[in-house]
Amino acid sequence: MGSGRNSFDSGMPQPPVSRNMEKMFLRLARAATVLAFIVVTVGAWVRLTDAGLGCPDWPGCYGQLIVAADAATDPAVQAEFGDRPVDTGAAWREMIHRYLASALGLICIALAAIGWLNRDRPGQPWRVPLALLALVIFQGLLGMWTVTLLLKPIVVVAHLLGGFATFGLLFWLARPNPWPLAAGRRLRALAVAAAAAVLLQIALGGWTSANYAALACPDFPTCQTQWWPEVADFDEAFVLWRGIGIDYEGGVLDHPARVAIHFTHRLGAIAAALLVGALGWLLLRRQEARRAGAVMLAALALQLAIGAAVVLFGVPLSLAVAHNGVAALLLLTIINAHQRIWRN
């Protein structure tokens, strides 16, 4: 996906401490990118296994930082959290996600600290690490609100987008000097449009999942046996805020609203596929970007195939989680194109 001389290497003699900090920064950024992908994927696994409220409190789980083996029979737990059945399996899935996210947050703190301490070194990024740290802190708040606001869809989607944004920023930091790509206005505009379409599609996917609408259209390529389902209720489908105190576990929308959400996600997939496909094709036709274009088109084809299979096979867990993971990888191909285009 492009490579080049490390931008940290300014060609001037630098103190050994600065060079060591640069190497540590890059290693941490690359490790954090992998960890962020795991966090995003595990987050999807938690959501799809209905473990989002496996721990009804935050940051601990039933008042503990480790899920107690006897939580289901502990009188104190029953007294405080008796309104919700204790499921230790769901609790552990939620806590595993929190542990991984906490580890990622610590690495982001380290990246911000190194970037700030080494900010006088030419090419050392420090503004993006500080922005990343602020994002991670906000992600922690969104994680808390996801629980305390009982899986409110707008918060769930914001948490999902924050996770993807964290992943993307870390990928950006892990590749400080990708090979530049000369691009005219058309290619730049198409790259922006493709990025916007993919981000919107990720948000629509999160909205579909958060409103339990994945099976609202059980047939494919039609929806409710129609190319444009007449039963769809678009007015109710995209009400972003419905007040406080509503438990959204299992969803609260009627079937027509869920059909509208699912169908909109499919329409978004068509638009995103056309834009990303066009961008990938233009990159594929250029010698210096052929590999980037091929990877982008391969990721797009895989994502479309998984999306269709999710519906045809009734949302199996493995495919649903893979759908989330491949969306993250597709986003990276878009970020890679932007890095190379705008660097030039």
164 shares a domain with 18: yes
Specify whether 117 is located in the same domain as 11. yes
* Same domain? 169 vs 21: yes
Residue 231, exposed/middle/buried by CB under 10 A (0-12, 13-18, 19+)?
Answer: middle
Do 81 and 100 lie in one domain? The reply is yes
The dihedrals phi and psi of 295, each to the nearest 5 degrees, come to: -65, -40
Helix (H) or strand (E) run with residue 149 in it: none
267 in the same domain as 242: yes
- Out of 128, 143, 177, a domain closes at 177
Q: Please tell me the pTM assigned to this model.
A: 0.92
* HSE-CB for 239 with a 13 A CA cutoff: 11
Q: Are 127 and 185 in a shared domain?
A: no
Distances (CA, A) of 270 to 220, 237, 265: 14, 19, 9
Beta bridge partners of 223: 226
- Total count of domains within the chain: 2
Render each residue's pLDDT in the chain as its tens digit; 344 residues: 444 444 454 455 555 567 788 899 999 999 999 999 999 999 999 999 999 999 999 999 998 999 988 888 888 888 888 778 889 999 999 999 999 999 999 999 999 999 999 998 888 999 999 999 999 999 999 999 999 999 999 999 999 999 999 999 999 999 888 888 888 889 999 999 999 999 999 999 999 999 999 999 999 999 999 999 999 999 999 999 999 999 999 999 999 999 999 999 999 999 999 999 999 999 999 999 999 999 999 999 999 999 999 999 999 999 999 999 999 999 999 999 999 998 86
Same structural domain, 189 and 154:
no
Q: Is 80 a catalytic residue?
A: no
Nearest in space to 45 (alpha carbons), one of 93, 111, 114: 93
Residues 6 or more apart in contact with residue 171 via CB below 8 angstroms: 33, 332, 335
Q: Are residues 186 and 328 in the same domain?
A: yes
Alpha-carbon gap, residue 217 to 266, rounded angstroms = 10
Q: Do 71 and 193 fall into the same domain?
A: no
128 shares its domain with 202: no
Q: How far apart are CA 308 and CA 319, in angstroms?
A: 10
Rounded to an integer, what distance in angstroms lies between the CA atom of residue 338 and that of residue 332? 10
Q: How far apart are CA 211 and CA 153, in angstroms?
A: 7
Q: How far is CA 233 from the centre of its chain?
A: 27
For residues 189 and 70, state if they share a domain. no
Domain boundary, last residue among 147, 177, 207: 177
Q: Are 311 and 323 in contact (CB under 8 A)?
A: no
Same domain as 246, residue 103: no
In this structure, are residues 333 and 292 in contact, taking their beta carbons and an 8 Å threshold?
yes
Looking at 120, 152, 177, the residue that finishes a domain is 177
pLDDT of residue 274: 98
Catalytic residue among 80, 94, 236, 249: 94
Q: What domain range includes position 247?
A: 181-344
